[in-house]
Structure 1
Amino acid sequence: MSSIHLTKTVQSVQPRYVGRFSCTGSACEDTCCSGWTVVIDKKTFNAYRQTKQPLLMERMATQVKRIRSLSSDVKYARIEMQAETRDCPFLEERLCSVQRELGEDKLSDTCATYPRKSRVLGGQHQQALTLSCPEAARLALLAPDAMDFVEVSGKVRVESVIQIRSKQGLSPEMMESVSLFCLKLMKVSSLSLWQKLAALGVFIELLTASLKRGGHAGVPALLKDFDTMVSTGGIADALSAMLPDYAVQATAFSGLWQIKTSRKNSAVQRSVQAMVAKGLGADPVTNLVTQQQLIDNYRSGVQRLPEALKQAPYLLENFLLNEMFSEGFPFAEASPYEHFLKLVTQFGLLRFMLAVQCNDDAKLPDAEQMARTVQVFSRKYQHDADFAKRVNGALKNSGWDALEKVYRFLRT
């Protein structure tokens, strides 16, 4: 079979950890070849139908199904996972038989690119990894230089590269400038992490308001003025009076954590979720916990979290930086402010899951366990579009999407 997917070599800006990544294959503790809905592009589907490999022919015919409703060339078919295990039917001894028998080129775009996310913004190729991959999570979260940005040469599958177009009336070049400014803001050493997020919220609110009234020409001046405000300490002074609200944080994020997702959990995912439940003080039989227990246990855990994070001091900041860079923050949602709300919600829910695991006086989670929690969080919640919609709806319906209320989610 001839090559069906065009690749090319490009210069790409990426976090340093991306160049260190290599799939661990059968050694992966939470394989990407199980538990997903895997879509197949049209080119790959047609190639599968033409294969003469005896090992694959029957499974290609019975386990790869056309998507009849709202299909496209990108989402043309899907792989039917095994009913009991939710494993891909092409797994053989935890390795992909399609890649082994037909070559990497015959993998679908979904399988060939995961966990890589590639895009072009303002003429610049950019690449990051999604942290739902265990090895990507370890590399991104635990190394001090993981989120240093470098330019490297590498191959990309052309049809999998997302082309970022003009949004909110801004040119791609100006969008790139705004994205870089947001990343720079999250690296300001004079601010704590919650202060960086709060400052980011102020900037995003100003940016959103400016774009709504057609003030696109004023964005460069906004970037300059806000940079001055941060460097002179004005932002830190304005945030100094904020107090933590553990009751609000515990109630809001425990509610989000308990939202059921549609996917079958792996052993690794069940283990992390069980640790979170234990940290909350949930009854082992009924899984129930009183409101006051919930608040007290969260407060205890979140106050001990900084001690645990000494083992992985870059973990939360690197998580935020990776999410912002990989999604082209703040332009992946309907407005910059909605993208900010999504980021804050993800941060708060992840911090909640980490914090309650610190509620055990005998033992704090180690760096590996915290990285595993990020990976499970990413896989369980970030890849579930229905979950994201329910979270956004819950915030809006409860009035928690206003910036002054969002601040109460941040400080600890």
Structure 2
Amino acid sequence: MGMTNNQTAVPHYLKQFSCIGSSCEDTCCAWWGISIDKQSYNRYQTVNHSGMRNKLNDHLTVKKNGSAQDYAEMQLNPETGNCSMLDGGLCTIQATLGEEYLSQTCRTYPRVVNQAGAATEMSLQLSCPEAARVILLDRQAMDFEEASPGDPGILAFRHVTSSGHNEKKRDYYLPQIRGMMMEIIRYRQFSLPHRLILLGVFCDNVNLIMEEKKFRDIPAFLLEFRHEAAHNEELLDYNVFPVDPAFQLQYLNNCLMGVLEDTLWNTRYRECMNDYTRGMKATDASLESILDVYTESYEQYTAPFLDSNPQILENYILNAIYSRVLGEMSQGIPVFDCYRMLILDFAMIKLHLIGMASYHKELSRELAVKLIQSYTKNYEHASLFHKKILDDLRKKDYASLGYMCLFIKN
């Protein structure tokens, strides 16, 4: 796809999104650290509106070791967790001074802006309920079309990936690797779990090539993998891959309960967790009884719902790959670790949905969106969440592709 430097391919859903303001079920201004860039901070010191200037000064704290982009932070209301500038679900800075006075962080969210070489890439975060709806429910949401992303100077970049021009260097091949990852998720002749396992085979092999620093072998491997995905009988046979629902349930549930105490803060996610725990109750507390509930809920409610709404988890995965993986790889994170994090989130979301479906005796689009949005919001900035579980996987020797299959497949 040919593009000029000020054009990029953006997901179709970007045109469908607009903030619904005080009608939103959640708030982007609660219990998150609200970073203020230095340029915005300086503007706040000199605003003409004296009442607003004093209010801003009273609630801003300059960081000791801040940067130009992360210079100060806005204090939160200790009782509600809301930003001090929030009133009736609306931002008083925007209402009183205008949108141009919003900090880079507030002006950007829920957009994710990445610099990928010469291109500016833009996506949306699923932690915003309205963004979650437009991403997860529309079957065309993750189709890409040419568009100008606007002036990125007013927005905060999440990742900046240098443009690699040297074919001997690792970074040169990262966009091709990400592109192939997204291509595999679109192999719709296979079920999504099957595609995720194929993605694992791909990432595992790319990881080996990268570790051996044979970067120039990557284009040939991409061609080879396409051929294998079309003709290799073992890859084509979903039954070849292992399944162990008892292991899946026990390990994921134990991990979830192990991190919940430190990280459960979002109200909507707490409601989902209450549904999950009530749904997973059995006649007795034995693993066998709980596994019966888990299996029945998956077969009776979850699998039929996902079959009739295939775009929900597919779009979730595609959006995660598009917005996260290039930046993660450019920071030196191995591609198979990126894959493990994707699968961890996929498996955790599936686990929650199965428990919630058991409680409600159904699964609806509203429940699925609520869970994915609130799960994302609750853990998005809890960096230790993924690290703690990935460390545990390695410690127990559960980090291989075979074990990833056990988390994917039901």
Tell me the TM-score normalized by structure 1: 0.90
Match of 2:287 among 288, 291, 296: 291
Match of 1:306 in 2: 303
Give a deviation string over 1:65-120, Cα, whole Å, max 9, x none. Answer: 1121x422222111111000001110122110111222222211111101111123
Deviates more, 1:133-142 or 1:119-128: 119-128
Deviates more, 1:37-46 or 1:260-269: 260-269
CA contact under 8 A between 1:121 and 1:172: conserved in structure 2?
no
Match of 1:103 among 92, 98, 104: 98
Match of 1:348 in 2: 347
Match of 2:325 in 1: 328
C-alpha distance in 1, partners of 2:53/2:282?
A: 49
CA contact under 8 A between 2:77 and 2:83: conserved in structure 1?
yes
CA contact under 8 A between 2:9 and 2:121: conserved in structure 1?
yes
Provide structure 1 residue ranges, at least 5 long, that are not aligned to the other structure: 1-8
C-alpha distance in 1, partners of 2:21/2:52?
A: 20
Match of 1:78 in 2: 73
What secondary structure is seen at the aligned counterpart in 1 of 2:28?
Answer: coil
CA contact under 8 A between 1:120 and 1:163: conserved in structure 2?
yes
Matched, 1:223 2:218: no
Q: Report the alpha carbon displacement of residue 138 of structure 1 after superposing the two structures with TM.
A: 0.6
Deviates more, 1:54-63 or 1:163-172: 163-172
Q: Report the alpha carbon displacement of residue 11 of structure 1 after superposing the two structures with TM.
A: 1.9
Q: Report the alpha carbon displacement of residue 21 of structure 1 after superposing the two structures with TM.
A: 0.4
| Structure 1 stretches of at least 4 aligned residues deviating more than 6 Å after TM superposition | 166-169
> Relative to 1, partners in 2 of residues 1:55 and 1:262: Cα closer, same or farther, differing over 3 Å?
farther
C-alpha distance in 1, partners of 2:94/2:266?
A: 23
What secondary structure is seen at the aligned counterpart in 2 of 1:126?
Answer: strand
C-alpha distance in 1, partners of 2:104/2:8?
A: 19
Give a deviation string over 1:120-154, Cα, whole Å, max 9, x none. Answer: 32423221111010001111111111111111123
C-alpha distance in 1, partners of 2:55/2:168?
A: 48
Match of 1:388 in 2: 386
Give a deviation string over 1:142-183, Cα, whole Å, max 9, x none. Answer: 111111111112314326233212689746553212111110
Q: Report the alpha carbon displacement of residue 240 of structure 1 after superposing the two structures with TM.
A: 2.7
Q: Report the alpha carbon displacement of residue 64 of structure 1 after superposing the two structures with TM.
A: 1.2
Match of 2:114 in 1: 119
> Relative to 1, partners in 2 of residues 1:398 and 1:264: Cα closer, same or farther, differing over 3 Å?
closer
Give a deviation string over 1:164-207, Cα, whole Å, max 9, x none. Answer: 12689746553212111110111002211111111111111111
C-alpha distance in 1, partners of 2:234/2:128?
A: 36
Q: 1:8-407, aligned counterparts within 5 Å?
A: 10-68=6-64, 70-158=65-153, 160-161=156-157, 162-165=159-162, 170=169, 172-234=171-233, 236-237=235-236, 239-258=238-257, 259-260=259-260, 265-281=265-281, 290-304=286-300, 305-329=302-326, 331=329, 334-360=333-359, 363-407=361-405
Tell me the TM-score normalized by structure 2: 0.90
What secondary structure is seen at the aligned counterpart in 1 of 2:199?
Answer: helix
CA contact under 8 A between 1:35 and 1:263: conserved in structure 2?
no
- The one-letter code of the counterpart of 2:53 is M
Provide structure 2 residue ranges, at least 5 long, that are not aligned to the other structure: none
Give a deviation string over 1:204-241, Cα, whole Å, max 9, x none. Answer: 11111111111001000010100110122445346432
Which structure: greater helix fraction? 2
What secondary structure is seen at the aligned counterpart in 1 of 2:395?
Answer: helix
* Identity %, equivalent residues: 25
C-alpha distance in 1, partners of 2:101/2:261?
A: 31
C-alpha distance in 2, partners of 1:189/1:65?
A: 50
> Relative to 1, partners in 2 of residues 1:272 and 1:300: Cα closer, same or farther, differing over 3 Å?
same
What secondary structure is seen at the aligned counterpart in 1 of 2:26?
Answer: coil
CA contact under 8 A between 2:168 and 2:216: conserved in structure 1?
no
